């Protein structure tokens, strides 16, 4: 097996300038996604059943962690539209009575109510319990229930459609749209010469509405998603394909029109190159996705569901955004009108925000420096392999993953298949550096978290500890600012100070913490990777680091060993036809053929066919003898199991690797939890709702390739597949993985 293909989520790997250290992100990860379970103080409680000693009376196990996840999902579903709740509160307290009186007056006068874009909004015109708003509420909660509590496969399909559409929107180039419009307007001048001055006015009248429509479709987000979501639903859902004859004789005009639209579509996106399985721009506009009624219904249902959710959320958040804009506008007007009495409070609030940003930004800068240092260290360990990939152009470069060379060669592990979860996973060690097609280096998030906990002078430490320390400093500054504010206001009232002097005194006292920090405080110790202690601990973490990656596909090539006593020209030709990759094997020479020997060529072809048939018969006899030996060893229980289907072996679980998996999990901080020493399998983002969608390159369907030399990659045994897997499947292994092999994320 020369090629490993895995799936990699963008949130599991981080670039050098985006460490997961933000205050809101940390709160969301620990409270919203229940990652607080990874802290040792919470682990035992999170893995304990909510039924305590009565757990054995219930069929399904329900831990406090699972219960907390369900509660958090419900709270997030209710808390996301919080600005809209404020909008409803303001409407029913201040606007509902006035709008009712207006409608009564218009009814008495016989007038009709019309929507005014500048004076009224949608909620005033329709009221919050109009049928449109009721449908909006239903779709919102339905979407929340589907995303939060539906099956993993169904949820991922919907998320993939939405993610692809949003990625397309982020790749739209406004300059590309303007370029298409300008080229279209200049078309008569390119084709007709001076006659274009006569034709251009008539041409412009015809083309202008189409160009305006083109501009709106690609530059207005809601309209863009309205036509992009159905396209990706057609592309990602259903596998129906029209037969070749139907594709050849039907939809000719539609395909010609589609090819022209596709050219325009590629011109307005930044990424013009088309890549297999990852193109974010449509390369064709055929109707292959509508080949079957089932696929059509699935695509239509998915498109309608996504579009209804899009319009519902757009309506809710448009009303919320309108409220926020109005509040900010009237607040600014109030500050300007009452500047004399309000300015000192405004200056103090601004100082609070400045100090808050400064405290938490210091934490961010420390981890950015640490992240860059770690990535540079990983790049130095894989320089030779990295240069081969980075030197390629981005259009030909695939996403690559590099195995970092381990110092302790005895502890190097081989990739192993794991069947603990519903999806098959590779357990890979020392896979620590990822390079996308745009040469952006990334490292696993879990590796970053482990390296942060290295106990070396100058190391940053865990993220939550630094955030708590920054919060403590910020609270001290807030208390000091409140003390300054009270003193200034007290003396201002006693001494009858003007508002200008009071504001200046407030600012002068507010800058004291910044002065103390920048002048009197000592600078922190910087981390140095050149120290022996740090390098030693990094080597220990790299040696013991193992992580599970979901399998996308299993690509195996059959190795037919060369028979003893067979050689010469016929054996070499046979090995070449079977695709053997042994470098020691000879290749068929063209000099053995005569220039006019047509009969010899035919005889050679017949000999090749005979040799192939003999080899196949020998392989069948060997397989039968192996099967008989294994049946005798296993006993009567396995007499009826004659199926060699790959799926049946994939679904089975190895029983002889529990001890090894347990050691690996203990090395990664994944010990046993709960009562009775039950094995706890870590849930890597399964069943969790992530509201933050990552549109980076890492989260696309791009290919990730493992690259390495015989020095950087560990030596493989005869097979790293489970025993029951290799009993029926001969897997080819080598001492290194070829540079042109990929495993896809």
DSSP for 486-518?
HHHHHHHHHHT--HHHHHHHHHHHHTHHHHIII
For residues 627-638, average pLDDT: 47
- Please give the pLDDT value at position 575: 44
Predicted confidence band of residue 533 (pLDDT cuts 50, 70, 90): confident
Predicted confidence band of residue 254 (pLDDT cuts 50, 70, 90): low
Predicted confidence band of residue 598 (pLDDT cuts 50, 70, 90): very low
**φ and ψ at 682, to 5 degrees?**
-70, 135
- Could you tell me which residues are beta bridge partners of residue 53? none
Residue 299 reports pLDDT greater than 70:
yes
CA angle at 382 for the pair 380 and 386, rounded to the nearest 5°: 105
Give whole-number Cα distances, 672 to 227, 413, 496, 680, 688, in Å. Answer: 49, 22, 69, 6, 21
- Please give the pLDDT value at position 595: 41
Most confident of 51-65, 304-318, 587-601, 676-690: 304-318
689, 148 in Cβ contact below 8 A? yes
Residue 568 reports pLDDT greater than 60:
no
For residues 88-95, average pLDDT: 89
Residue that is written with structure tokens 């495993």 in the block: 743
Higher pLDDT, 52 or 635: 52
For residues 463-477, average pLDDT: 90
Residue 573 reports pLDDT greater than 50:
no
Q: Which of 142, 458, 152, 415 is nearest to 301 (CA)?
A: 142
Predicted confidence band of residue 319 (pLDDT cuts 50, 70, 90): confident
The rounded distance, in Å, linking the Cα atoms of 106 and 113 is: 7
- Please give the pLDDT value at position 727: 41
484, 345 in Cβ contact below 8 A? no
Secondary structure of 143-159 in HEC code, one letter for each residue:
HHHHHHHCCHHHHHHHH
**Taking the CA of residue 730 as centre, how many other CA atoms within 13 Å lie in the half-sphere pointing to its CB?**
9
Residue 503 reports pLDDT greater than 90:
no
**Taking the CA of residue 154 as centre, how many other CA atoms within 13 Å lie in the half-sphere pointing to its CB?**
12
- Please give the pLDDT value at position 577: 44
Residue 498 reports pLDDT greater than 80:
yes
Predicted confidence band of residue 656 (pLDDT cuts 50, 70, 90): very low
- Please give the pLDDT value at position 352: 92
Secondary structure of 296-360 in HEC code, one letter for each residue:
HHHHHHHHHHHHHHHHHHHHHHHHHHHHHHHHHHHHHHHHHHCHHHHHHHHHHHHHHHHHHHHHH
Dihedral sign for Cα atoms in the order 362, 367, 370, 375 = negative
* Beta pairing, strands 399-403 & 703-707: parallel
Give whole-number Cα distances, 265 to 280, 283, 285, in Å. Answer: 11, 9, 11
3-state secondary structure of 673: coil
- Please give the pLDDT value at position 580: 38
Higher pLDDT, 602 or 529: 529
- Please give the pLDDT value at position 523: 63
Strands (E) in 476-602, as ranges, are 546-555
For residues 224-243, average pLDDT: 73
Question: What order do you get walking across the sheet with 743-744 strand by strand?
Answer: 13-15, 441-444, 431-435, 399-403, 703-707, 743-744
- Please give the pLDDT value at position 477: 92
- Please give the pLDDT value at position 306: 85
The overall average pLDDT reported for the chain is: 72
Q: Which of 416, 431, 429 is nearest to 385 (CA)?
A: 431
- Please give the pLDDT value at position 736: 36
For residues 102-131, average pLDDT: 83
Residue 655 reports pLDDT greater than 80:
no
């Amino acid at each position: 097996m020369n090629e490993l293909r895995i799936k990699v989520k963008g949130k599991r790997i981080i670039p050098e300038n985006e460490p997961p250290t933000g205050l809101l992100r940390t709160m969301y990860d620990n409270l919203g996604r229940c990652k607080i379970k990874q802290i040792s103080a919470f682990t035992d409680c999170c893995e304990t059943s909510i039924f305590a000693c009565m757990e054995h009376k219930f069929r399904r196990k329900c831990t406090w962690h699972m219960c907390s996840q369900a509660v958090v999902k419900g709270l997030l579903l209710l808390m996301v539209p919080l600005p809209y709740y404020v909008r409803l509160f303001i409407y029913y307290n201040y606007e509902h009575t006035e709008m009712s009186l207006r409608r009564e007056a218009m009814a008495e006068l016989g007038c009709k109510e019309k929507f005014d874009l500048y004076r009224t909004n949608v909620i005033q015109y329709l009221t919050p319990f109009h049928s449109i708003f009721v449908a909006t509420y239903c779709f919102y909660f339905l979407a929340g229930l589907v995303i939060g509590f539906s099956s993993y496969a169904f949820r991922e399909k919907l998320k993939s459609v939405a993610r692809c559409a949003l990625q397309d929107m982020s790749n739209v180039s406004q300059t590309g749209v303007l370029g298409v419009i300008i080229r279209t307007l200049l078309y008569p001048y390119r084709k007709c010469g001076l006659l274009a001055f006569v034709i251009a006015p008539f041409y412009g009248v015809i083309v202008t509405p189409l160009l305006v429509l083109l501009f709106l479709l690609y530059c207005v987000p809601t309209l863009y998603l309205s036509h992009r979501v159905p396209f990706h639903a057609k592309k990602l859902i259903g596998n129906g394909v029209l037969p070749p004859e139907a594709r050849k004789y039907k939809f000719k005009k539609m395909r010609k029109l589609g090819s022209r639209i596709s050219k325009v579509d590629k011109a307005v996106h930044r990424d013009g190159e088309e890549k297999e399985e990852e193109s974010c721009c449509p390369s064709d506009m055929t109707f292959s996705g509508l080949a079957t009624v089932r696929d059509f219904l699935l695509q239509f249902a998915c498109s309608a569901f996504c579009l209804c959710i899009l319009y519902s959320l757009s309506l809710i958040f448009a009303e919320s955004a309108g409220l926020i804009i109005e509040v900010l506008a009237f607040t600014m007007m109030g500050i300007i009108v009452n500047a004399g009495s309000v300015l000192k409070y405004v200056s103090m609030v601004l100082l609070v925000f400045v100090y808050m940003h400064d405290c938490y930004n210091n934490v961010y800068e420390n981890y950015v420096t640490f992240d860059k240092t770690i990535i540079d260290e990983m790049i130095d360990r894989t320089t030779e392999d990295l240069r081969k990939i980075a030197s390629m152009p981005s259009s030909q470069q695939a996403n690559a993953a590099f195995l970092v060379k381990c110092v302790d060669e005895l502890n190097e592990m081989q990739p192993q298949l794991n069947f603990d979860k519903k999806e098959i996973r590779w357990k890979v060690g020392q896979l620590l550096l990822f390079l996308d097609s745009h040469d952006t280096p990334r490292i696993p998030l879990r590796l970053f978290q482990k390296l942060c906990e290295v106990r070396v002078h100058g190391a940053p430490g865990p993220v939550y500890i630094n955030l708590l320390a920054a919060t403590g400093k910020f609270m001290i500054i807030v208390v000091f600012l409140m003390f300054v504010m009270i003193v200034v206001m007290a003396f201002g009232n006693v001494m009858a100070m003007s508002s200008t002097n009071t504001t200046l005194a407030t600012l002068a006292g507010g800058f004291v913490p910044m002065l103390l920090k920048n002048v009197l405080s000592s600078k922190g110790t910087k981390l140095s990777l050149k120290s022996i202690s740090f390098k030693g601990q990094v080597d220990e973490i790299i040696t013991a680091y193992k992580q599970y990656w979901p399998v996308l596909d299993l690509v195996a090539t059959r190795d037919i060993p060369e028979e003893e006593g067979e050689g010469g020209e016929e054996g070499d030709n046979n090995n070449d036809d079977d695709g053997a990759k042994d470098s020691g094997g000879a290749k068929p020479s063209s000099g053995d053929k005569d220039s006019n020997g047509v009969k010899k060529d035919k005889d050679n072809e017949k000999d090749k066919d005979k040799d192939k048939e003999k080899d196949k018969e020998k392989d069948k006899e060997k397989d039968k003898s192996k099967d008989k030996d294994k049946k005798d060893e296993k006993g009567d229980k396995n007499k009826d199991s004659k199926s060699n289907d790959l799926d049946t072996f994939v679904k089975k679980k190895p029983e002889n690797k529990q001890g090894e998996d347990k050691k690996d999990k203990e090395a990664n901080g994944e010990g046993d939890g709960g009562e009775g020493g039950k094995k706890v399998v870590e849930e890597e983002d399964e069943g969790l709702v992530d509201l933050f969608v990552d549109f980076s390159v890492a989260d696309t369907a791009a290919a990730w390739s493992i690259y390495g030399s015989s020095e950087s990659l560990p030596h493989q045994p005869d097979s790293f597949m489970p025993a029951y897997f290799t009993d029926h499947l001969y897997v080819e292994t080598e001492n290194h993985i070829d540079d042109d092999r990929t495993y896809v994320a």
